[in-house]
Amino acid sequence: MMREWATVVAWQDGIATLHSEIKTSCSGCSARKGCGSAMLNKLGPKDAHVMQIASEKPLQPGQRVELGIRESSLLSSALLVYMTPLAGLFLLSGLFQMLFHSDLAAACGALLGGIGGFIVAKGVSARFGDREAFQPVILNIMLPADAIRVEQESL
């Protein structure tokens, strides 16, 4: 199970709004100028993800929770996102090359297949993304800051 800590922003009617910070090692890597992951990190949100997760236990803003998601669901999501456009790219490129016997047609087919693959991946992920296996769950809840009291005995 993949684990990550998040901070509670709000809790209302059994739904917790959580703030999870993005952890990236791109700032310390020497290959960041030519790295695709570094480029993708620049496109997304800069510092955090905000999500809503069901929680039967009442939570207070500022409280920390540990989230978990199954590796199998994470791997299948990655497979869907990366392989569907790649399969569309190769299939339509080969089909256009067979039909039109032209490299330009094959390039156009590759472009259309890649875009079509992204559209298919988006549709499939919307259909399966709401399943329980693909949702993160709350594993641990830290005590709120005001619930901890430290007393020292004087000697």
Residue 32 lies in a domain: no
For the record, the structure tokens of 48 come out as 């955090």
Backbone φ and ψ for 23, nearest 5 degrees, come out as -110, 120
Tens digit of each residue's pLDDT (9 = 90 or more) over 29-72:
666 566 655 655 565 555 668 889 988 899 999 899 999 988 88
* Number of structural domains in the chain: 1
Residues in the chain: 155
Residue 130 phi/psi, 5° resolution?
A: -85, -5
The Cβ of residue 43 has, within 10 Å, a number of other Cβ atoms equal to 6
- 91 contacts 99 by C-beta, under 8 angstroms: no
Residue 74 forms part of a structural domain: yes
Q: Read off the pLDDT band of 144 (50, 70, 90).
A: confident
Q: Read off the pLDDT of residues 87-143 as tens digits, 9 standing for 90 and up.
A: 999 999 999 999 999 999 999 999 999 999 999 999 998 888 778 888 889 999 988
- Asked if 18 and 7 touch (Cβ cutoff 8 Å), the reply is yes
Q: Would you say residue 61 lies in a domain?
A: yes
Domain assignment present for 28: no
89 is a domain residue: yes
* Chain center to CA of 76: 12
Query: Is 24 a residue whose pLDDT tops 80?
Result: no
**Which regions of 22-91 does DSSP assign to beta strands (E)?**
48-54, 64-69
At residue 66, the 3 state secondary structure works out as: strand
63 lies in which domain range?
3-22+41-145
> Does position 12 have pLDDT exceeding 70, yes or no?
yes
Model confidence at 10: pLDDT above 90: yes
Q: Is residue 150 part of a domain?
A: no
**Are the C-beta atoms of 17 and 52 separated by less than 8 Å?**
yes
User: Does the residue 35 lie in any domain?
Assistant: no
In a domain, 120, yes or no: yes
The residue with greater pLDDT, 36 or 74, is: 74
Q: For residue 155, what pLDDT is reported? A: 67
pTM of the shown model: 0.64
d(CA 116, CA 123): 11
Amino acid letter for position 138: I
